[in-house]
């Protein structure tokens, strides 16, 4: 058990700002797209966190529920007390990853895939999302026009005024080594890189425990596996 779990939650400004005396009216659940789709109830999350019951909070950090929220923040708009459950969720997710508890749930383990795809792309390309990582193989739902675009990206993006992978000002430009170096240093100085490392180390351990090859299989397992136990 993490002894100072409550202190660590309360130390986060977003937790202080996101939850001030929830009266459990449930309007957040009524408006929440995730509550309609998943076995998820933001009102209950607030109740548990507000109860200060360490055992129950620890179960949240180990479970699937905190990973269902889509961060649309519709809860903030409607809460009569101005609370933002989505922001409380952000803090719970951060703590779940810092403690390593995230690998104990199917949805939590998916953080490895996000770190590998989006997280590393920020460091390597200077973009969160870029056509090079939105491959048709991993995104068949994008349809045949997307495949056509990717197959002809230089011809088509240039026609639309972009400068794909070239240095200079413009869409899809090469961000440049000097800029990437500074982004990397920011991640090193501010704990971003350590956060990535922690996700990777906990995931490697989880892969060993699950008997899955970390290098060859684990990414696709967490990226594509769905037990089907999450929906209403």
Binding residues among 68-127 for another protein as defined by CB under 8 A: 70-74, 76-77, 84, 90, 93-94, 97, 107, 110-111, 113-115, 117-119, 122, 126-127
CA dist 53 and 35 (Å) reads 23
Smaller CB separation from another protein, 52 or 113: 113
Residues numbered 16 to 75 that lie near another protein (CB under 8 A) are 17, 33-34, 37-38, 67, 70-74
Q: Is 148 in the site for another protein (CB under 8 A)?
A: yes
1: CB partners within 8 A, 6+ apart: 54, 55, 58
Quote the least distance from Cβ 123 to another protein, whole Å.
10
Smaller CB separation from another protein, 168 or 211: 168
List 185's β-bridge partners, or say none: none
Smaller CB separation from another protein, 51 or 135: 135
Among 196, 204, 210, 214, indicate the residue that binds another protein (CB under 8 A): 196
Quote the least distance from Cβ 190 to another protein, whole Å.
4
Smaller CB separation from another protein, 43 or 107: 107
CA dist 66 and 60 (Å) reads 7
Smaller CB separation from another protein, 51 or 64: 64
Among 47, 50, 99, 158, indicate the residue that binds another protein (CB under 8 A): 158
Q: What is the 3-state secondary structure (H, E, C) of the chain?
A: CCCCHHHHHHCCHHHHHHCCCCCCCCHHHHHCHHHHHECCCHHHHHHHHHHCCHHHHHHHHHCCHHHCCCCCCHHHHHCCCCCCHHHHHHHHHHHHHHHCHHHHCHHHHCHHHHHHHHHHHHHHHCCCCCCCCCCCCCCHHHCHHHHHHHHCHHHHHHHCCCCCCCCCCCCCCCCCHHHHHHHHHHHHHHCHHHHHHHHHHHHHHHHHHHCCCCCCCHHHHHHHCCCCCCEC
Smaller CB separation from another protein, 195 or 214: 195
Among 11, 51, 52, 176, indicate the residue that binds another protein (CB under 8 A): 176
- Considering only the stretches 42-50, 56-64, 188-196, 203-211, report the one whose residues sit in contact with another protein under the rule CB under 8 A: 188-196
Smaller CB separation from another protein, 24 or 190: 190
- Considering only the stretches 20-28, 48-56, 57-65, 149-157, report the one whose residues sit in contact with another protein under the rule CB under 8 A: 149-157
Quote the least distance from Cβ 183 to another protein, whole Å.
6
CA dist 91 and 179 (Å) reads 29
């Amino acid at each position: 058990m993490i002894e100072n779990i409550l202190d660590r939650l309360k130390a986060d400004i977003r937790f202080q700002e996101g939850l001030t005396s929830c009266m459990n009216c449930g309007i957040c659940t009524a408006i929440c797209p995730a509550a309609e789709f998943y076995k998820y109830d933001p009102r209950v999350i607030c109740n548990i966190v507000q109860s200060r019951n360490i055992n129950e909070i620890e179960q949240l950090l180990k479970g699937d529920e905190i990973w269902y929220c889509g961060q649309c923040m519709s809860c903030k708009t409607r809460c009569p007390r101005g609370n933002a459950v989505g922001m409380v969720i952000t803090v719970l997710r951060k703590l779940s990853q810092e403690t390593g508890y995230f690998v104990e749930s199917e949805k939590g383990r998916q953080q490895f895939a996000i770190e590998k795809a989006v997280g590393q792309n920020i460091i390597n390309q200077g973009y969160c999302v870029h056509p090079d990582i939105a491959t048709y193989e991993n995104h068949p739902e994008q349809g045949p026009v997307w495949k056509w675009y990717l197959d002809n990206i230089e011809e088509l993006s240039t026609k639309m005024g972009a400068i794909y992978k070239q240095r200079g000002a413009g869409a899809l430009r090469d961000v440049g080594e000097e800029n990437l170096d500074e982004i990397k240093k920011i991640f090193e100085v501010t704990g971003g890189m350590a956060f990535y490392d922690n996700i990777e180390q906990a995931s490697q351990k989880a892969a060993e425990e699950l008997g899955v090859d970390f290098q060859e299989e684990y990414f696709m397992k967490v990226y594509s596996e769905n037990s089907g136990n999450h929906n209403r």
